[in-house]
A and B are shown apart, each in its own frame.
Chain A
């Protein structure tokens, strides 16, 4: 018998608490598979953030530290400085990384911390019930923008992958999406590359993943996938904004 599909070893054999159609589970899988393929499970430390992804340790079969809302890059810095030969990654939502934790992410990147950041952008605060995020689109109705996000009043959607690319300490910054099988496969390759660069001691690596929150968007899983390509991608273009691995040969 040939096995063509199995649970990554870096994930525990448990069922998840995520809502139907939520992409956190998909992104968990991609991260776990990258760790498996690079044989990093035994040396990886995950940093869980606050938000829907806080229960990282329930799913990943690795060492995990929980961090306060937005502070995962600082916690990761402390861990990595003590164990420089470990692989350290943060896993953060858009509220976590692009609102309350903006200072921590920018400075961790700017220091060139040799960590990998997985940034799940679902344009809303999932766990607290669908409030506006810094990444919410213009006109997007959320529980705190009941008339739609007003760019004049509420500000503009923030493009983190592009911003990260501007910082000298960043070695890799890309945006991927997980709304369709071929893009899931592509996202998996990009995430694996980010971990591989960390393994090689490159520096700060950042992967933004466009993901769905069907529950808070009030859409079916399929329509939520549709929204990613139709509405999110025009504002958040996919691509690699910085890759120093090429220049390093």
Chain B
């Protein structure tokens, strides 16, 4: 039996990453995720790994790019403003088909904003964030245990699909302490051989090239279709989602990450009050659980989407249900200070249940 731990979310993601074999971390401090670089700086040297505090987020993500190109399991973390600076590097990594794990513990924005929990980086995470039209795998844990579990999943999916994977948390989940039961790391499936990485040729006939530049006629289009195919495969095979009571629901509540915790309480309050309310909690934000929304709304025609922003995931919910349900939105974009209470969401559920 593994020992139960009582840790912060920011530590849980590191424990999971290290268990999954991550030995390289490059980052730059920003609140509310500083426990991540601090934890990695303590633990990695003793494991024969490398922690390096970069001069900026721009440098950090490019160190990640280099380490990934060299074949390592590598991670970085940041929050909003820093993720913006990493966008260029992420686009290059997507173009160069490089796996890595990026943690974004979202804070309030835009600009310097505040250090409170927010979910306003949803678009930035799931729509690419950088230039050129690409996707990352995006995972949204709602507990400390899940931060640990999904850190392992993120590394495996990144390697399998050869693309960056983002763990999208927020200040609340990063700073919260909760019990964590560690378990052994078991890969999701067979992991591909990294025969594409740079090591120096060491007798290999041909040199390996890691690049995103495709100049020959038609080559870039073929490359972009190949990447697109991978995004399709993810949609077909890697959707993760938690549902509660959607079979008989008259109203479906949907929320992700820390907001989903509050939503769960509100749903059970509603059930106790005799309202048939269900919950869909996307765990993968990309690939988005389109089918699950579509199937659920074949019989239940009303969805309420709750987010800590002015409405971002709600757009993907609407696209998924494709007008077959009435999708409504309730948002609180003011940071932790405006976090909705379970009672507040219960009130919303009552209201949207009726009219």
B200 lies within 8 A of A78 (CB) = no
| CB-based contact A75/B198 at 8 Å | no
| Residues in A64-95 with C-beta less than 8 Å from chain B | 64-68, 71, 74-83, 86-87
In the complex, the 10 A-B pairs of residues with the closest C-beta atoms, listed nearest first: A78-B66, A74-B62, A43-B200, A82-B70, A78-B67, A63-B198, A78-B63, A75-B66, A71-B62, A107-B55
Give every chain A residue within 8 A of B203 (Cβ-Cβ): 42
Instruction: Answer whether A71 and B198 are a contact pair too, CB < 8 Å, given A66-B210, A78-B66, A79-B70.
Output: no
The answer to whether the Cβ of B234 comes within 8 Å of any Cβ in the partner chain is no
Q: Which residue of chain B is the closest to A86 with respect to CB atoms?
A: B200
How far, in Å, is A33 (CB) from chain B's closest CB?
17
Whether A63 and B209, one on each chain, are in contact in the complex, defined by CB atoms closer than 8 angstroms, is yes
Contact A74:B199 (CB < 8 A) given known A65-B210, A103-B58:
no
Find out whether the CB atom of A71 lies under 8 angstroms from the CB atom of B207: no
Chain B interface residue count: which class? 35 or more
Q: B66: which A residues are within 8 A, CB to CB?
A: 47, 65, 67, 74-82
A-B contact count (CB 8 A): 136
Which of A47, A61, A67, A82 contacts B67 (CB under 8 A)? Answer: A82
CB neighbors of B among A43-68 (8 A): 43-45, 47-48, 54-55, 57, 60-68
Which residues of B are at the interface with A, using a C-beta cutoff of 8 A? 24, 26, 50, 52, 54-56, 58-60, 62-72, 74, 88-89, 92, 96, 198-203, 207-213
Given contacts A57-B207, A71-B89, A78-B62, contact A65 B69 (CB under 8 A): yes
Q: For B74, what are the chain A residues with a Cβ–Cβ distance below 8 Å? A: 78
CB distance from B100 to the nearest CB of A (A): 10
CB-CB under 8 A for A60 and B207, given A45-B200, A68-B89:
yes
Among A42, A57, A78, A81, point to the contact of B65 (Cβ < 8 A): A78
**6 new A-B contacts at CB < 8 Å, known A83-B198, A106-B55:** A47-B66, A57-B207, A67-B62, A71-B58, A71-B65, A104-B59
Q: How far is the CA of A67 from the CA of B211 in the complex (A)?
A: 8
- A116 within 8 Å of B by Cβ? no
Distance from A48 Cβ to chain B, minimum over Cβ atoms (Å):
8
Which residues of B are found within 8 Å of A47, using beta-carbon distances?
66
Nearest Cβ on chain B to A60's Cβ, whole angstroms = 7
| Cβ contact within 8 Å between B67 and A64 | no
Which residues in A have their C-beta under 8 angstroms from that of B207? 57, 60-64
> Is the beta-carbon distance between B50 and A81 smaller than 8 angstroms?
yes
What are 8 A-B residue pairs whose CB atoms fall within 8 Å in the complex?
A45-B199, A61-B207, A63-B198, A65-B198, A78-B62, A79-B67, A81-B63, A87-B200
User: What distance in Å separates the Cβ of B138 from its nearest Cβ neighbour in chain A?
Assistant: 22
Complex: how many Å from CA A44 to CA B88?
26
A48 to B211, CA, bound (A): 9
Contact A104 B24, CB 8 Å, known A45-B198, A79-B198: no
Instruction: For B71, list chain A residues within 8 Å (CB).
Output: 82
Across the interface, name the chain B residue whose C-beta is closest to A82: B70
Residue on A nearest B49 in the bound complex, by CB? A81
Q: How far is the CA of A62 from the CA of B92 in the complex (A)?
A: 21
Known contacts A75-B66, A83-B70: A67-B92 contact under CB 8 Å: yes
**CB closest residue in chain B, given A54:** B213
Candidates A67, A75, A86; contact of B199 at CB < 8 Å: A86
- Tell me whether A66 and B70 are in contact (CB under 8 A): no
